Amino acid sequence: MGRLIISGASSRSGKTTITCGLLASLRHRGLKVSAYKTGPDYIDTEYLRMAGKCQAYNLDTWLMSEEATLKLFTETSRGKDTTIIEGAMGLYDGGINSTASIARLVGAPVVLVVNAGSMGESAAAVALGFREYCRDINIAGVILNFTGSEYHVKIIAEALEDKGIKFLGALRRDDGLKIPERHLGLLQAGENRSFDVERLAAKFEECINVEELLRISGASGELRPCSDDLLLSRKYNARVAVARDEAFTFYYPESLDTLRLMGAEVEYFSPLNDASLPQADGYIFGGGYPEVFASELAGNATMLQSVRACTRPILAECGGMMYLCRGIEDVHGNAHNMAGVLPFRSFMTGRAVMGYMTGRALRDNLICRKGETVRGHEFHYSRVEPEYLEDTCAFELTRRNTGASHYGGYAGGNILASYLHVNFWGNTEIAENFMNILTSSRL
């Protein structure tokens, strides 16, 4: 099983475009591929899924342990010809969960993508610096992105080869290949009608040395064994209904797979289009862009009434919490009424709040007991008011990078709602807590 990491010298180097091009190219060659994204990103994985026609998973050693991450990679890549991993940010960014640390964990060579749009030979100096910075990372070659003329490519390619760095090809500046962005990252794959995977695959075959990429991937060597100690201890008979449509798309597939492995039947419903909640033992409202679809969500009155009347457990993360609020003020300042089961209103701020968090439970809730901790990630441009309600506040949240703490979320009755995104994979305690409550008669 070959494996390869596509990493960047920095954010906005075009890693997603390059990774999608490679996945589509390999698929066209009849190869079975699996796809991964390092870190907590939800949006890029959908592009990888579309390009490779395969499920794309997150490799994140903060949200799950190293052993759980390795097991996820091992289990989901079994039987594939090659696995392609897209890195996050720059190769060495992110501390213990950097793309470089994932490269070490899974023993994968790295192809460095360099945005050469405003550089000549300096692009080779950047690549050389990345190679020399940490020699236990195998930087097996470089792909240039956003290049101009043939001469532009030639001078950088020659400089790379002069320093013993393999040149693997270059993509020219092409607005038709760019993926548009919005306030949480790339435009969602399902909304991007201009994303042409077939054209990208053809361009990739024309400009990139795919044969050499396959050779590099195939020389990865043996994947180190992982433990079998992550097996789930119980099976549950439960049905979990998950909100999934254009407004709610932020889910870790491996997290929902964990519930399935525990015996849950996972089904999807649409707060945008369905008339009411389906029958289920519990509900999950994940993150997404409810502020973009606020008018349509507010217009589905029967669904909102069904949510208000629900007495079964509801786990809501980020955008899901916003939907449960009294209302959402969208990016244009327009107010829209929402489900109203939480005593908050949600506002867009224009300022990103992002990073890894540890949540210490202030009271018993759907996934942990008072005093227990859970790891998660926040990424949002909104806030809720009031930000803190003493009788129902769910967590004391502490940032991994600064140690700064604040209070947030709601835990009361049948609801746990916060900005915290968690991953059940490898965190079997919180998964089992959730399933125990779903199958108990306490609610």
Q: Render pLDDT for 147-190 as a digit per residue (tens, 0 to 9).
A: 999 999 999 999 999 999 999 999 998 776 677 676 666 677 67
Enter the tokens of residue 215.
């050779």
pLDDT per residue over 275-292, tens digit each?
999 999 999 999 999 999
310 given a catalytic annotation: no
Question: Both tokens of residue 126?
Answer: 């950047």
Mean pLDDT for the chain? 93
Candidates 207, 226, 318, 368; catalytic one? 318
Is pTM, for the whole model, over 0.75?
yes
Closest to 126 measured CA to CA, from 165, 85, 93: 165
- pLDDT (mean) for 69-73: 94
Angle separating helix axes 253-261 and 428-439, nearest 10 degrees: 60
For the chain, where do the domains classified as CATH 3.40.50.300 start and end? 2-218
Cis bond leading into 278, ω under 30°?
no
CATH class of domain segment(s) 238-439: alpha beta
Percent of the chain with pLDDT over 70: 95
Residue 229's pLDDT band, with cuts at 50, 70 and 90, is low
Nearest-angstrom CA–CA distance, 128 and 110: 13
Assign domain 2-218 one CATH number from 3.40.225.10, 3.40.190.10, 3.40.50.9100, 3.40.50.300: 3.40.50.300
* Residue 420, C-beta contacts closer than 8 angstroms, at least 6 positions apart: 317, 318, 357, 359, 374, 376, 377, 378, 395, 397, 408, 409
Closest by CA to 15, choosing from 121, 228, 171, is 171
Pick from 124, 126, 117: nearest CA to 157: 124
φ, ψ of residue 59 in degrees (nearest 5): -110, 110
Cα separation, 296 vs 328, in Å, equals: 12
Q: Give residue 160's identity as a one-letter amino acid code.
A: L
CA–CA distances in Å: residue 241 to residues 100, 270, 290: 36, 10, 18
pLDDT of residue 352: 86
In the chain, % helix, strand, coil (3-state, to 5) comes to 30, 30, 40
Conformational region of residue 39, where left means phi above 0, alpha means psi within -120 to 50, and beta covers everything else: left
Which of 409-419 are b and which e, b meaning 16 or more Cβ less than 10 Å from the residue's Cβ?
Answer: bbbbebbbbbb
Residue 231: what pLDDT? 52
Beta strand residue intervals within 310-425, DSSP E: 314-317, 327-329, 335-337, 345-361, 373-385, 395-399, 405-408, 410-412, 415-418
pLDDT at 440: 87
Per-residue pLDDT, 176: 65
Report the distance separating Cα 285 and Cα 313, nearest Å: 11
* Token output for 211: 């044969």
Q: In 3D, which of 431, 420, 354 has the Cα closest to residue 393?
A: 420
Q: How many CB atoms lie within 10 A of CB 381?
A: 17
Q: Band of the pLDDT at 304, cuts 50, 70, 90?
A: very high
Token pair listed for 283: 């509900």
Tell me the average pLDDT across 311-333.
Answer: 95
Instruction: Read off the pLDDT band of 109 (50, 70, 90).
Output: very high
Check: CB of residue 296 under 8 Å from CB of residue 272. yes
Domain with CATH 3.40.50.880 in the chain: 238-439
In this structure, which amino acid lies at residue 408? G
- Mean pLDDT score, 363-380: 96
Query: In sequence order, what DSSP letters do the residues of 336-364 get, joined into one string?
Result: EE----SS-EEEEEEEEEEEEEEEEESS-
pLDDT exceeds cutoff 90 at 433: yes
Rounded CA-CA distance 404/357 in Å is: 10
**Of 394, 376, 373, nearest to 384 (Cα)?**
394
